[in-house]
Amino acid sequence: MSGWIALSNITVRFGALTAVDAVSLDVDKGEIHAVVGENGAGKSTIMNVLFGLLVPDEGTIAIGGTPHAWKTPQDAIAHGIGMVHQHFMLQDSMTVLENVVLCAEPVNRLGIVDFATARAKLEDIIATYGIRSRLDARVADLSVSERQVVEILKVLYREAEVLILDEPTAVLTPQETRSLFEILANFKAAGKAIVIITHKLDEVMEVADTVSVMRGGRLVSSGPREATSKDEIARGIIGGDLPAPRARGPYAPGAPVLKVTDLVARGEGRPVGPVSLEVRKGEIVGVAAVAGNGQAELIETIVGLRRSAGGTVSLDGQDLAGKDVAARRALGLSYIPTDRQRVGLALEARVSENALIGREMESRFRRGLFQIGSQIDAFAREVIARYRIKVAGPRAKTSSMSGGNKQKLVVGRELSRETPLVIAENPTWGVDIGAIDFIHGELVRMRDAGHAILLVSTEIDEILALSDRIVVMFEGRITGSFAASDADRFEIGALMTSHGSGGIQTRDAS
Amino acid sequence: MMATDTGFAARLGPWVAVIAWLFAILLVLMIAVGASLDQAVSGFFNGAFGGRNSAYLMTTIGRSALIIGMALAVLISFRAGLYNIGGEGQLVVGGIVAALVGIYLPGPGPMVLAVGILAAMAAASLWAVLAGALQVYLGVPLLIGSLLLNYPARYISSYLVGHPFRDVAAGLPQTHMVPQGAWIPNFPGTRLDMGIILVLLAAVFTIVYAYRTVPGYRTRMNGLAPDFARASGLPVKRLVFQTLAMSGAIAGLVGAIAVFGVHYRFSDGMLVQPLYAWTGIIAVLMVGMVPWAVPLSGFFFAAVQTGAAGMERTAGIPKEIGLIMQAAIILFVASRLAVVNLAGSARGEGNDDRA
């Protein structure tokens, strides 16, 4: 029996690469269907086919038994399919209402946009599904989760019967995730079909009715959640058994490497801070914060990308005041930035060029001002092998790699510098389970080898899994500080979204 | 392999469309001015590639040397993500300095020529660096600062050749001639000056610099991803100045070639009216900033301009039609760039989930 939406034998090729290989997938009304798999497994690709962004090389799409062939997303939207992408597509300077109706404006006979009708329709939607949204707020003033709601409203406003969400919880706190799931449950009750593309198995187990696992462009399994288990799904995703839990050395921190004292960072509008923290040799300090709470400004100030407005930063006892990025890096700092697409890598450059950056003046890579291509390629090959990066070779274009492999390149380049201090900012954002595991392993290995690691993450699970000490930031200030052994995920989640019950929460064992 | 093949076809497609459109536009314009088609076509080709002893071809090559030179100046800065559109001002500064050195520096001809070229390059280089300083220290975007600096360069040079350094006897706002000993010699038996050799050297230098050297690598990374360059600790301010200095120096070289090889003096507007600098920008954008293709597109635009002059001579079609064609090309390039940018960002979105 085939479902309400039936994707049959879909094949998508990008040049020589088969991204989706003869996959058939059914989605029914009134179900939440989770599609899981590593990056590069083809899950986004097949959903892009359903949404009309990609035309499949083979295979058919049928809705309610009627076959369709989309040429553009507009065709798909017209037949009730809506998609919320991982990267939001909103106009910051416009209000929520304006964003939602953009390109689907109701107009009166004079051709003037009829906002009253649009507003009434939206308020109806909001009431029906228990959504909270401020229609007249400017998108620029909204938090990430509120922006996501706007994207969902856009889809609902276009009367979608199928809602596809690509990694919807990647940017949300546990509390925000919970309220998203409540909204999704209401959609389900109203008979809509929901597809979520995700990496997070706990969430799959919590909300999905049906789970489809993809690996290497093929469908590994598809069936009701009750009939499977988290372990079985994980095995399906990575195509083998799970790695053993990570072993880590005993916690024996040494001398302080990074000392931040009353640091005030220039923010957009209001300053961030003052913040004080310390990272010692052989420990991982995790900073937990929802995106936009000052952690990015803090890190940029430490790295030297942003000027400080007060306070001091020292590295191995050396004051960093007045030193630029290059000088700070030379003193012993490595930086894995959140945004690998823009800050971590030059996507249009070769893999070798990205591996080289920061080392181009080393004598082994140049003869006078001329670069020695063979040495640079050899070095890139070393990084590729050591960090198990899947790529055609050192001369391949960086943008040809999957997200996980791009991130491994950044991580490999930075960690192989073996600096006393490593700053890792959302080091596993949007990468697959295999790469997450590898990157986490490398960070722990660095810690065991006596490096000081400052980890910043919006993922509480990542913070909990890696940190020896945990610091929580909210609205530019540190609102809590815990030894890892005392940490409670809901308490951290609460501190990430509020000032807490008064004063700074401190339960530092040390 | 597959990807490059489709990439090549995709690049070729728009070109075919552009050329078809150009011919269509040309046809309409010629009908409008009532010229005969075959006269116009033969006039165009003769004007661009013919002439007695290939004289017109030499003119085309001579002109393309200047356009290619300006294109190289643009290329070196654009590839670094620095939108230096002040090539015209830098060219004029180079030209006037070259002429003044040529006229007033005593000494043997070749020495005067060498000093004149170097002085022109240095002066134009400083003019470009000034635009960079406006951006780095005062926050004036380079696109605006470099553009606006074209005007003082132009008017200061007008004043200099109109008053203090005017060849009064000539009656026109222009300098005296530089001594013949300092002229760039012609290729034997032709009317083509050897300035094109200097331009080709500059082209080789530019390509080697861009692909083989450490500063070239840094500049390229800064151009591809400025945030990446900054976060990796590259000396981005220095790169701005270094790149602009080189870009300006090449523009200055072109100005010196125009003085020592073509006009033998500086006359008001001689480097501005033929739109060398702007044509250079178009020549670079037209081929998507691919260095090896720049000489070809530079030659193409030179041929369009000299061919248009030929049409005017033989068929009586105003040579402004050449300019109209060039403007049409700019529009096509602009629309193509917009399409490329859109396609690029759309691809960027989906990137993360491909193997």
Domains and CATH numbers, chain B: 51-334 (1.10.3470)
Question: pLDDT class for B355, splitting at 50, 70, 90?
Answer: very low
pLDDT number for residue A413: 93
- Which residue in B has a C-alpha nearest to residue A48's C-alpha? B350
Which residues of chain A are within 8 Å of residue B353 when distances are taken between CB atoms? Answer: 39-40, 42-45, 402-403
- Residue A477, beta-bridge partner list: A474
The reply to whether residue A16 touches residue B2, judged by beta carbons under 8 angstroms, is yes
Q: How far apart are CA B355 and CA A20, in angstroms?
A: 10
Question: What are the residues whose beta carbons fall under 8 Å from the beta carbon of A259, sequence distance 6 or more?
Answer: A278, A312, A313, A314
Judging contacts by C-beta atoms under 8 Å, the chain A residues touching residue B341 are: none
Chain B residues within 8 A of A371 when measuring between CB atoms:
212-214, 217
Q: With CA atoms as reference, report the closest residue to B255 among B266, B241, B245.
A: B266
The answer for residues whose C-beta is within 8 angstroms of residue A286's C-beta and 6 or more apart is: A455, A456, A457, A462, A463, A464, A466, A467, A469, A470, A471, A484
pLDDT at B345 (0 to 100): 39
Is residue A269 very low, low, confident or very high in pLDDT (cuts 50, 70, 90)?
A: low
Task: Please tell me the distance in Å from B150's CA to the nearest CA on chain A.
Answer: 32
Four-CA torsion A130, A133, A136, A138, nearest 10 degrees: -160
- Smallest CA–CA distance, residue A16 to chain B, in Å, is 7
- How far A487 CA lies from chain B's nearest CA (Å)? 33
pLDDT tens digits, A308-324? 888 899 998 888 888 89
Give the residue among B56, B49, B123 at the shortest CA–CA distance from B91: B123
Give the pLDDT of residue B101: 94
Query: Which residue type is seen at A49?
Result: V
Q: How far apart are CA A160 and CA A125, in angstroms?
A: 12
Taking domain A5-238, whether its CATH number is 3.40.50.300 is answered by yes
Over residues A25-46, the mean pLDDT reads 86
Strands A32-36 and A193-198, by their bridges, are parallel
Residue B30 parent element (H or E)? helix B2-33
Closest by Cα among A84, A113, A294, A270 to A180 = A84
Q: Do A341 and B220 touch (CB under 8 A)?
A: no
Fold of A256-343+415-507: Rossmann fold (3.40.50)
Neighboring chain A residues of B214 at a CB cutoff of 8 Å: 360-361, 366, 369-371
Q: Within 10 A of B203 (CB to CB), how many other CB atoms are there?
A: 22
Over residues B148-152, the mean pLDDT reads 93
Average pLDDT of every residue of chain A: 85
Could you report how far apart the first and last alpha carbons of chain B are, in Å? 17
**Using CB atoms and an 8 Å cut-off, which of residues 339-358 of chain A contact chain B?**
339, 341-349, 353, 356-358
CA nearest B260: which of B60, B30, B105? B105
Shortest alpha-carbon distance between residue A186 and chain B (Å): 29
pLDDT of residue B9 exceeding 70, the answer is: no
Q: Using a CB-CB distance cutoff of 8 angstroms, which residues of chain A are in contact with residue B227? A: 339, 342-343
Which residue blocks in B34-86 are alpha helix, DSSP H?
Answer: 37-49, 55-78
Beta strands in A204-348 (DSSP E): 210-215, 218-224, 256-265, 272-280, 284-288, 312-315, 318-319, 333-336
A169-219 confidence digits (pLDDT tens): 877 777 788 888 988 998 899 888 999 988 778 888 889 999 999 887 888
Local structure of residue B187 (DSSP, 8 states): P
- Starting at the edge strand that comes first in sequence, how are the strands of the sheet with A58-63 ordered? A17-27, A5-14, A58-63, A66-68
Listed ranges A7-16, A214-223, B90-99, B277-286; the one with the highest mean pLDDT: B90-99
Question: What pLDDT sits at residue A428?
Answer: 86
Distance CA B330, CA B227 (A): 30
Q: What is the pLDDT of residues A104-117, one digit of tens each?
A: 777 777 777 778 88
Contact at 8 Å (CB) between A419 and A449? no
Domain with CATH 3.40.50.300 in chain A: 5-238, 256-343+415-507
Q: Chain A to chain B, count of Cβ pairs less than 8 Å apart?
A: 118
